[in-house]
């Protein structure tokens, strides 16, 4: 099996090192194309107005001055020699990718680009623990369970227009006892915020971030699984059409367009 790795935290991220160990537990045929710089929150952005520069880091490993989408496209179409990859793994992200945040996630976007290129793709993320000024990421949890989950997913398979979004809870491996197949949740509060600051020249600027306030998610969602210390596996696809509204509108908006 040939595996292409990418992420959105950058070529030097600890999570990418974890992902490489996960991949090498499955095969020796591992290739890496990851962003030169952090691309968290880049979503499915594609670099169109600037040239893409690629730096070879070592054998079968490249840093791309672009987004995760750029990296996977370059990896599959240009950098990986010979046969195209059999699997794309994106991550392991520093922090969870759940609920509505999956639409902004560069980690998820890397997997979506793999799917768009006809390759089974999985996004992996490690939730973190925040305590005062300390942030703890249990990379050993993703490493302990990642190979088995990926192997099992490959055994059962999934539709070609679907990616798998895997999130590991912010716990050490010995405290994780369950895996749950979940649906994408939606938070009942708005986590994103910003702080207005002033630089030394008296000019205002804004720093984006998250409040860290927890929601009250429903059972069966990715949020609830992670909150309760379970590994979440969510099948995702990019068809955002809301069919009930389509069906409702057909009766009132179909046919000749209304005039002003």
| Cα–Cα dist 200/161, whole Å | 50
- Please give, one letter per residue, the 3-state secondary structure of 64-115: ECCCHHHHHHHHHHHHCCCCCCCEEEEEEEECCCCHHHHHCCHHHHHHHHHH
Measure the CA angle with vertex 35, ends 30 and 62; round to 5°.
45
Instruction: Establish how many alpha carbons lie within 13 A of residue 92's alpha carbon, considering only the half-sphere containing its beta carbon.
Output: 29
Q: Is the peptide bond before 92 cis (omega within 30 degrees of 0)?
A: yes
From the annotation, which residues make up the binding site? 8-9, 40, 93
212's CB contacts (< 8 A; 6+ apart) are: 130, 191
From the annotation, which residues make up the binding site for a divalent metal cation? 8-9, 40, 93
| Cα–Cα dist 184/5, whole Å | 24
The closest alpha carbon to 40, from 84, 2, 94, 112, belongs to 94
């Amino acid at each position: 099996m040939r595996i292409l790795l990418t992420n959105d935290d950058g070529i030097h991220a600890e999570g990418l090192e974890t992902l490489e160990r996960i991949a090498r537990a499955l095969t020796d045929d591992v290739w890496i194309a990851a962003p030169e710089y952090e691309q968290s929150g880049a979503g499915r952005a594609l670099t169109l107005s600037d040239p893409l520069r690629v730096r070879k880091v070592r054998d079968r490993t490249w840093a791309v001055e672009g987004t995760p989408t750029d990296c996977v496209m370059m990896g599959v179409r240009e950098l990986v020699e010979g046969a195209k990859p059999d699997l794309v793994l994106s991550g392991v992200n520093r922090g969870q990718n759940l609920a509505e945040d999956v639409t902004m996630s560069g980690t998820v976007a890397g997997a979506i680009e793999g799917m768009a290129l006809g390759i089974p793709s999985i996004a992996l993320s490690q939730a973190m623990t925040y305590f005062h000024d300390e942030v703890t990421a249990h990379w050993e949890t993703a490493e302990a369970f990642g190979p088995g989950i990926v192997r099992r997913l490959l055994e059962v398979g999934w539709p070609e227009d679907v990616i798998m979004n895997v999130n590991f809870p912010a716990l050490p491996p010995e405290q994780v006892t369950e895996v749950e197949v979940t649906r994408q949740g939606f938070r009942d509060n708005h986590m994103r915020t910003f702080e207005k600051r002033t630089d030394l020249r008296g000019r205002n600027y804004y720093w984006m971030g998250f409040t860290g306030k927890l929601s009250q998610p429903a059972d069966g969602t990715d949020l609830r699984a992670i909150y309760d210390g379970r590994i979440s596996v969510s099948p995702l696809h990019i068809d955002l059409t809301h069919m009930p509204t389509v069906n409702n509108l057909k009766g009132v908006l179909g046919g000749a367009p209304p005039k002003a």
